[in-house]
Amino acid sequence: MSLNYSANNIFVRPEMFYIRGLRDMSFANCFYIFLFIVYIFAVFSNVFVIMLINLDQSLHNPKYLAVVHLALVDLGTTTAVIPKVIEMFLFNSSFISYEACLAMFFVHFFNSMQSLSLVILAYDRFLAICFPLQYHSINTNSRMVGLIVSLWMFAAVSLSITVLLITRLSFCKSTVINSYFCDHGPVYRLACNDSYPNLIAGWLDTALFLFTPLGLILCSYILIGVALLKIASTDGRQKALKTCISHIILVIIFYVPLAITYVTAQFVDSNIRILNNSLSATIPSMMNPIIYTLKTDEMKAAIKKLYKRISRGRESKVINIKFPVK
């Protein structure tokens, strides 16, 4: 699908875009079903984590405020991506309006917040291990909330500018987007007027929300490693390191697929790139609550307490039924 562009450089804003998605893949239908299962699982697991932390008073601390924030961001990430992809599959329609396409802001926003959420968790672990005596005075609940709100505002303003730059583009070449959603790069490359500001904005966003967070996380773990070496006992080092295992796994799951995408972008088939991008945007949201639930002692203890509370409630109901109060 293409649009004619006159010699007078008339500004062209299409009514609709066509999202190519995964339609050229032989297993596309199976993959859409897989994404639907991922979405359902991600929603239930993240809601469970949020409710569990809310119900357990012992988890009302800065670390688990950051975990709740990550769960909320995971819900936002999957909801911004998967339902629209499933809608295209169910109704066999890959057309999306220009205005709806600009809503790609939310996809990029929540992806960026996932990266920043991992920085917040790294910050918490850095303070807990490197400044254990000052941790509770430095990292209070109110300060953690302030940090989270500040990062949300920063990401919202930065990505709003990126989306607004799209509105200055004239789309005269084609309206076929070579991605599974209105991705920023594939969209601005369709423009026939100067898209250099969009290129710069894309690189700045990548630096701000991918490379900088990853660099900060790596620096925090270098400092954590130095602090661990200063701990005299092996048992003490292992206990301190154990508190970081969940976060390290999350970092690997989130950043490694993105790194593969960037490194191999010029060498692999576009279908493989689209497939990898869709997986890297959805799988972490499903895995994050599982990892924090299975790999964190406090979370496992909270689940046991919740199970005992539910069991006692059931037992008391059975007793009341057998021996009604007169």
Above 90 in pLDDT, residue 93?
no
1 band by pLDDT with thresholds 50, 70 and 90: very low
Average pLDDT over residues 266-290: 77
Average pLDDT over residues 99-123: 91
Give the per-residue pLDDT at 5: 44
Q: For residues 275-308, b (16+ Cβ closer than 10 Å) or e, as one string?
A: bbbbbbbbbbbbbbbebbbebbebbeebeeeeee
Above 70 in pLDDT, residue 91?
yes
Nearest to 288 by CA among 19, 144, 76: 76
**How confident is the model over 35-79, as pLDDT tens digits?**
889 999 999 999 999 999 999 998 999 999 999 999 999 999 999
| Higher pLDDT pick, 248 / 3 | 248
Give the per-residue pLDDT at 321: 60
Average pLDDT over residues 24-40: 82
Above 90 in pLDDT, residue 2?
no
Spatial separation of the C-alpha atoms in residues 3 and 12, rounded to whole Å: 8
In sequence order, which residues have a C-beta less than 8 Å from that of residue 309 and are 6 or more positions away? none
| Strand blocks (E) in 142-299 | 176-177
H or E element at residue 11? none
Q: How confident is the prediction for the chain on average, in pLDDT?
A: 85
Q: What's 94's DSSP letter?
A: -
- Percent of the chain scored above 90 by pLDDT? 44
CB 167 within 8 A of CB 102: yes
**What's the CATH code, domain 16-311?**
1.20.1070.10
Give the per-residue pLDDT at 214: 94
177 band by pLDDT with thresholds 50, 70 and 90: confident
Give the per-residue pLDDT at 324: 56
Helix, strand, or coil here: 27?
coil
DSSP letters along 252-268, please? HHHHHHHHHHHHHTTTS
**Residue 235 in tokens:** 């048992």
**How confident is the model over 191-250, as pLDDT tens digits?**
988 899 999 999 999 999 999 999 999 999 999 999 998 887 888 888 888 888 889 999
Spatial separation of the C-alpha atoms in residues 29 and 86, rounded to whole Å: 10
Average pLDDT over residues 99-125: 92
**Cα 263–207–223 angle (5° rounding)?**
95
Average pLDDT over residues 145-170: 94
Give the per-residue pLDDT at 268: 60
Average pLDDT over residues 243-262: 86
Evaluate if pTM is beyond 0.75. Answer: yes
Give the per-residue pLDDT at 42: 93
Average pLDDT over residues 282-288: 89
CB 273 within 8 A of CB 265: yes
